[in-house]
Amino acid sequence: MQLSRIIAHIALAAAIVASAATPSDAAFGWMTEGNSANEVKANNAVEGLHMSRQLGGGGGLRGSSDQNTPSEGDDNYTNQKQVHKEDEEGDKEKKDEKEDKEKKDEKEDKEKKDEKEDKEKKDEKEKKDEKDDKEKEDDKDQKEDNDQKEDKEKKDEKDEKDQKEDDGNQDNGHQDDSTPTPETPTHGKPTPPPITPETPTQDEPTPTPETPTQEQPTPTPETPEVPTQEHPPTPEVPTQDEPTPTPETPTQEHPPTPETPEVPTQEQPTPTPSTPENPTQEHPPTPETPETPTQGKPTPPPTTPENPTQEHPTPIPSIPTEDRELPTPTPQTPGTQVPPPSNTPSVTPAPTTPQTPIQYTPPQNPGKEVPPTPAVTPAVTGPHVSDCLSLLLFLLLWTVSNSLALGRRYIRPTPELEKLSIMPVGDDAPAGVTPRQRNIQQLQRVYCRGELLHEVQMLELFPDSKHFVDMPIKNSSSVDEVLTQFQEQKNTYDSEKDWKERLIAFVNQHFDPPGAELVPTTPPDFQDDEIPLQIAQIANATLRDWAMELHKLWKVLARVPASTSADQISRSSFLHSLPIAAAPNGPHSPLSRQFHGENVLVVPGGRFRESYYWDSYWIVQGLLASGLRQTARGVVTHLLEFVAEFGFVPNGGRIYYLTRSQPPMLSDMVRLITTLKEGNGAEENTAAWDLEYLRAAVPLLEREYSFWMHRGAHGHAVEIPVSGSNGSETFVLNRYVAHAGEPRPESYREDVSTASTSFSSQGGQGVNEQKAAFYDEIIAAAESGWDFSSRWFGDYNTLDTVRTSRVISVELNAILHRVEQNLATFHAILGNADSSTRFKEAASTRVRAMDAVLWNEAEGCWKDYLLDSRKHSPVVSVADYSPLWGGAFDASDPTRVDKIVASLEKSGLVQEGGVQTTTIVTGQQWDAPNAWPPLQDIIIEGLLAAGTPKSRLLAKRLIQTWVKAGLVAWQETGLMFEKYNAQQLGGVGNGGEYTPQFGFGWSNGVILTLLTKYQAQLGDTAVVS
């Protein structure tokens, strides 16, 4: 059937070419100058005058006013003489020019009025289209079959009628201006469009053969305000993607002159049947043809000023007519709005995220700018050769393209579809996108961006922004149901208060409480009736009892997924890690899960309901102090599984943390769990290592190292040229950086509010770009773990000046030096000498780079390096001394080590209740006066590693201070806090985006490590006294 349609259209196009016997030089004159003259004559009909058309030589259309002047040799001369009898003796050319001037103003007024009516008609049409669309889609298939049969009957009737009309036209002569001229196409040829006195071109010949073209009657003088349409709408057409409006066009109120034979209007390339007895009759739909848009080419949405286009995640294919050569559009009056053609569907634009709108830009095609449709029936003229050649090419291309696409059905994008993530979702996702990735992208529509997230967060339904994004979807609902029902409700409220109440009810209807996807569990190796060996060895009873209470907290903080079914995974923001497959020839993987097919996770506590990357290092230390090696191994394996899937460890175990990592502590965690308890971690003592686990973990550690060493605009590694006495040298050091361009979902309201306040006063198109850059810098600061600190601020005080990616941070490079040292050690243990040497050289090069770029001789420590100013940061922080912990110093130079120790003591960081993070008070939680447990451990371990008497003495003092502070807070509150106040012994820390949290994973881990590892430094009574 498709082949027959192709052949039929090729034959039809060939017939059109054959009909173009005599081309006219004036064939396209109607596109320019004839506009005004024709409209003047059309409006003269109000005075009871009748016009007659003079066709140019060979049937060409008139263009200029000269061409519009009839001559005695023309058959229309007699009629023109009657119309303009009073001007027979005058100069007709001057009269036409005068009339042009007089009617030009009337034309402009009419266009403005038409524009207003067009807009009203368009609004009514869009509303009706949406209502009727569903009904039309359901009836389409059935009607298409009936249409095919009716089309054949209509075509036969039309052939007979056309033959009779052609014979009658030659006998009747030119008796009225709507009578076809002798050049009217004969039977079998498509009838070209009649000329319109007001708008002489059919500027948008959007071919919709499935819509029968109705005969346009010559309007009577009482119709000055006919709305602009290409042809009267046909409400019963089933083959349109969007239903056409019901016949409410005023043109149907004006019947043609009785004695005038009807001339079919060629609005479409394909000839269509006409009904002389009733021009306003609704025609039955034309049967499906290869040009039918619904056969494979969905009708694109109209491009109109009233309907700004937005991004549609579902691509909207363009109709083949975009490739057709179109006539020059008629110039529009300034400010004129172009209505869509009546047979073009209107697509409701998809909403975009309010803070980060994404605009969809349709293809630039002048064919979509539809000028107002003529209000007067055009005259009939013979086809021009160039028209026919263009039509032939168009028919061939359109027929083939639609035939190839046969069977595809256009699915309108639902309004809630928006930008989701870097890769598209659903059926539009690339073939390489796995079901796992597609599932994550679907969940991001709820938890990472979109209108629902924006409304919930900005209306402050919950005090903490993290509350909503941690709420799993109920079993009775789904992502699609949530978004669909949200769209249905979002515009039905009466006030903001009403909307907030309804939104709270909506969230409670579709979501479970936050954290419900994880359930508490007892670690598999936890013994209720036993005291762990290392805790039992604590001499002081008070400290031992305290340690035992902290040991019991592991049961409070341990978690496993409530369910691992695919259905449950698809309902939550919790990021389930995927197990690592066993080796092909091995019975099991050394990285296999050891607790009922799951890894036991240990969460920090409070609002932090999932695992976190760098927190886990100190949690693992605490688990090992409690003798829970199996649980510690599961925590580390969980992070290695993330690397196996994503190439890095996300900030935390939520899908909204996939935009960033955290300080890379994984290699140190692997070292902790693979060093057997009887070993000392020395390279030469292979018997003291878990070689099987190490062999499986090292490739993953190298993969994560590559993530951190990636260069480029958004890479973590940066080349820094340094000039010295020996010339210029370029070093590579690292920074924190992100590339998301969006607010953090877990702090959405805070980020959006800060960005809006900071950039709202800055006009221009760069505001959104500035906000996106701000969000990236915020996320980069969160990647550092120090969110937030004066270290990342341009003015060292306010958040809106954050510029994290422009800072080469000391502690990140100290940590990466440890990574390189660890990988060198692991390869040496595994017998990979070349790889071990490579990482030793990398570590050595980094030490040299840190000395060249970060070392500040005057301060006696390392300092953050600012890429923009090429200077050291003036901020004093704990990070300045982290290379001691990272081993990135020359231990053979005790004088320099003591200089560093002296610098620390006089820095102002060491306080009564611990080491404060910086010396600047900004209200941010990673500034003074807060003291954080992991930073205490880094300073203490670094001083002990320095190995000088002064460094060991300061380390001992800091151990005692921190244990005292923790014990005092515990005795007063019975809680372990996330952070403390360094300026008050046992005081609780404050500041930042949320209230102080307790629990707390890394706080427990640091204290248990100090109590079990450094009893000699604590003494028997020094702390408790």
pLDDT, one tens digit per residue, over 264-299 is 344 444 444 444 344 344 444 444 443 433 343 444
Map residue 729 onto helix, strand or coil: strand
* Cβ 472 vs Cβ 572: under 8 Å: yes
The stretches in the chain having pLDDT less than 50 are: 1-2, 20-85, 170-383, 385, 399-429
**Phi, psi (rounded to 5 degrees) for 673:** -90, -15
Alpha-carbon span 345 to 211, nearest angstrom: 13
Alpha-carbon span 928 to 525, nearest angstrom: 39
The backbone region for 451, taken as left when phi is positive above 0, alpha when psi lies in -120 to 50, beta otherwise, is: alpha
Task: Tell me whether residue 978 is one of the annotated catalytic residues.
Answer: yes
For the record, the structure tokens of 621 come out as 């230390």
Q: Hunting for tokens 């009607």 — which residue is that?
A: 143
Query: Looking at residue 516, what is its pLDDT?
Result: 95
β-pair type (871-872, 910-911): unpaired
Alpha-carbon span 959 to 1006, nearest angstrom: 10
Pick the catalytic residue: 115, 165, 742, 978?
Answer: 978
Alpha-carbon span 759 to 780, nearest angstrom: 19
- Widest distance between CA atoms in the chain: 130
pLDDT, one tens digit per residue, over 671-720 is 999 998 655 566 767 889 999 999 999 999 999 999 999 999 999 999 99
Query: Looking at residue 698, what is its pLDDT?
Result: 98
Task: Tell me whether residue 130 is one of the annotated catalytic residues.
Answer: no
For the record, the structure tokens of 15 come out as 């017939």
Q: Where do the domains of the chain lie?
A: 2-35+103-327+340-347+380-404, 517-525+568-708
Half-sphere exposure of 692 (CA within 13 A, CB side): 9
Alpha-carbon span 631 to 621, nearest angstrom: 11
Query: Looking at residue 788, what is its pLDDT?
Result: 98
For the record, the structure tokens of 788 come out as 């937030």
CB within 8 Å of 79: residues ≥ 6 apart: 50, 52, 174, 175, 176, 177
In this structure, the number of other CB atoms found within 10 A of the CB of residue 668 comes to 18
* Cβ 346 vs Cβ 242: under 8 Å: yes
Bond prior to 996 in cis (omega within 30° of 0): no
- Its pTM stands at 0.62
675, β-bridge pairs: 689
Alpha-carbon span 385 to 788, nearest angstrom: 73
For the record, the structure tokens of 368 come out as 């979509």
Query: Looking at residue 141, what is its pLDDT?
Result: 63
Q: Hunting for tokens 């639609």 — which residue is that?
A: 402
* Cβ 460 vs Cβ 749: under 8 Å: yes
Map residue 955 onto helix, strand or coil: helix
* H/E run at residue 131: helix 92-172
* Cβ 197 vs Cβ 39: under 8 Å: yes
Instruction: Residue count of the chain, please give it.
Output: 1025
* Cβ 294 vs Cβ 239: under 8 Å: yes
Q: Give the CA radius of gyration of the chain.
A: 40
* Cβ 338 vs Cβ 332: under 8 Å: yes
Pick the catalytic residue: 517, 787, 927, 993?
Answer: 787
For the record, the structure tokens of 239 come out as 């083959």
The one-letter code for the residue type at 768 is: N
Alpha-carbon span 347 to 411, nearest angstrom: 11
Half-sphere exposure of 864 (CA within 13 A, CB side): 30
Alpha-carbon span 873 to 563, nearest angstrom: 48
722, β-bridge pairs: 729
CB within 8 Å of 390: residues ≥ 6 apart: 324, 325
